[in-house]
Structures are given as structure tokens and as C-alpha cells.
Amino acid sequence: MNNTPKEIADFLAKQNRVSIFAHVNPDGDAIGSTCALALALEKLGIRVDMYNTYPIPRVYHFLANAEKIRLFTGEEELAETVVIVDSSNLKRTDLDKYPQSLAGKTIVEIDHHLGNDGFGDYNFVEAQSVANCENVYQVIKELPVEIDENIATALYLGISTDSGSFKFDAVTAQTHRIAAELLEKGARLDLVRLYIYESVSPAKLTLEKYLYNNLNIVAGGKLAWCAFDKDILAETKADGNDIDGIVNIMKNIEGVELAVLFREREDGIKISFRSKTWLSANDLAAYFGGGGHKYASGATINKSLDESIAAVIAKAEEIMGEKHERWHCQCNETAGDYLP
């Protein structure tokens, strides 16, 4: 069952101590959600411990509270109330590996992913929101606290990064209204720009160079893919933050509808899917046991890199063939001639 932002806020405001988690390999929205909610609850005198099972990439350290997010090892004692942000299930946080840590705890989740399984005792899931920071904003608005510069910056960062800088389809007038209010409250657009958009790490640059030299375009120019094997990933020492966004380089190629990036990792082949207009990247990821959003999704396969590539590209070509035909029938009479 889904709770309202007010129900979530009222419950949280009554707590003395809260632990907050976000998904593994945290991005701007996960970290922004964590920091903003913690800052707001701390204003109410609540003790907040923030955790992640991954280190926080240094580009986010400029946010207030980000450096206080601790690495969770399973040893730490969590508060009676555990808030999980920006994660569609427990597995996304790695907490499924530590069931004893959650035994008897009340779980509150605030999320914006399609296919969220409502795993919390309290759930506020609004999948229409382009960023989970929009949902965290709604909860904070129901708390008896003022949004200050630090909270505004954390929320703005999450909204800006998860919306592709306000470009994605899921961006609404409401997204802009929230962003406008955050700027009025002092959100540091200058710091977001400096640390997020105007800083490319050497590792990312090396990966981009590799991508340009090794990408494949198939399916009549509609599907672009590339694979980062373990050697290139080890050579560059790239973290999730360096790889973030690289798949979009392929998606942005004229005529490409679907971009697929494979990464060979210890725990399997991690695949990122990005689609542009008529294809659901979410459906494709779901076929391989993953999920996400309509235009951005991911999955992990436990096969060799070559086997994974063969299976995914074959399935993608099959789905694209079917869907494209159907889509053409639908659109021919109206905008069909003008769409890719």
C-alpha cells in the first residue's frame, strides 16, 4: 500500500533516531535523497545515520552531509526506523545480504522506480517523478522544517542529474516548479555545475576514448552497443560515477533507438539500456531479470561476456523488429513520416 508524503513525514517526525540507506553504486539522486532527508530530520533533533554499501564518489562530497555517509559492513547497529531511498527493492541496497540487521525494524521507503515492490512498512512510491528527490521534497515539505541552502542543493542535484539536466520526458511542469523553489531557497547551481557537469575524470576520458574506438552499430543503424571488459575497467580503475552517462554517447547517435553498454564485473555482466523514443528499455531489461525506467534501465547476467552480448543483442533486435513494425502502423497516418 502507498502512503502519502504527509503520513511518511508524520511518522518520521516522531522518531528519535533514523538510519538512511540508498541504492548501491549511488548516483546524484540517491546521494541527494539521502543527504536532503538527513539534513531535514536533523533539524528536528533526530539522530540520523546515513549508510551505503559503496563509497560515495568524491564529486558528491561538496554536498552537506555527504562525507558523513558511512560504509555499511553489516556490523553497524541500525536505528529502529530504517529509511530506504531511490531503490525499487531491498536487493538494490545490498541489505538483502544482512537480514539480521533489519530484523524487527520498521522500513520506510521513498522511491520513484517502476516495478517497486512496496517492500516497506511505509511506502511513498511515485513513479511519475523523474527523480526521487522530487518525492523526498514532497516529504520534507510536510515536515515542520524550512528548506535551507544545503537541503535545496542536495535536492536540486538529484533532480538535475536524474532528469538529464531537465531533458527527459518524465520532466514535468512540477519538476520545474520544485527546481524553481529550490533555487529561491539558495540551491547552489554553481557548485552542481562545477562538480558534476564540468569535471570529467581521467578514467572517464579513457573510457570514452575506448568507446569511440570500439562501439558497434547494428540493426540498420538503430542499435548501438559497446562492451567494457574487465581489462579496460581494471586499467582505468573506473568507478560507477565514471561510467555513468557514457551509454548516452551511443544513444545520442543519429538514428539510434537503443544503446546497450556491457560491463564485465566480478558479480556478472552488468548491462545498461537506454532507448530514445518508441522502445521500452524497461521491457528489455525485464526480460533479462532487470528493470528501471522506460528509457533507462539495467540488468545483470551471469554468463560470459560474449554469451551475454550474443543473447542481449539477439533479443533486442527481435523486440525492435516487432515493435518498430507495430509502431509504424500506429503512427503512419499522423506523424509517422517525421519520426525516426
Name residue 111's beta-bridge partners. 125
Kindly state the number of chain residues that form the binding site for Mn ion, as judged by CB under 5 A.
4
- Which CB, 81 or 132, lies closer to Mn ion? 132
Q: Which of 49, 86, 239, 257 binds Mn ion (CB under 5 A)?
A: 86
Cell of 125: 512510491
- Measured from the CB of residue 222, what is the shortest distance to Mn ion in angstroms? 27
Span near Mn ion by CB under 5 A; candidates 83-91, 138-146, 182-190, 249-257: 83-91
Contacts (CB under 5 A) with Mn ion, residues 162-201:
162
Contacts (CB under 5 A) with Mn ion, residues 26-65:
29
Nearest CA among 275, 3, 298 for reference residue 126: 3
Span near Mn ion by CB under 5 A; candidates 21-29, 91-99, 222-230, 310-318: 21-29
- Which CB, 116 or 308, lies closer to Mn ion? 116
Q: Cβ(40)–Cβ(158) under 8 Å? A: no
Contacts (CB under 5 A) with Mn ion, residues 220-249:
none
Give the residue nearest to Mn ion (CB).
Answer: 29
Per DSSP, 89 falls in state S
Q: Which of 19, 53, 132, 150 binds Mn ion (CB under 5 A)?
A: 132
- Which CB, 132 or 150, lies closer to Mn ion? 132
Separation between Cα atoms, residue 65 and residue 20, nearest integer Å: 12
Nearest CA among 126, 124, 114 for reference residue 83: 124
Secondary structure string (H, E, C) spanning 276-322: CCCCCHHHHHHHCCCEECCCEEEEEECCCHHHHHHHHHHHHHHHHHH
- Measured from the CB of residue 333, what is the shortest distance to Mn ion in angstroms? 37
116 contact partners, CB below 8 Å, separation of at least 6: 88, 89, 109, 123, 125, 127
Q: Hey, CA dihedral for 63, 134, 52, 11, is it positive or negative? A: positive
According to the binding rule CB under 5 A, does residue 297 interact with Mn ion?
no
- Measured from the CB of residue 59, what is the shortest distance to Mn ion in angstroms? 16
- Which CB, 49 or 86, lies closer to Mn ion? 86
Interface contacts to Mn ion, rule CB under 5 A: 29, 86, 132, 162
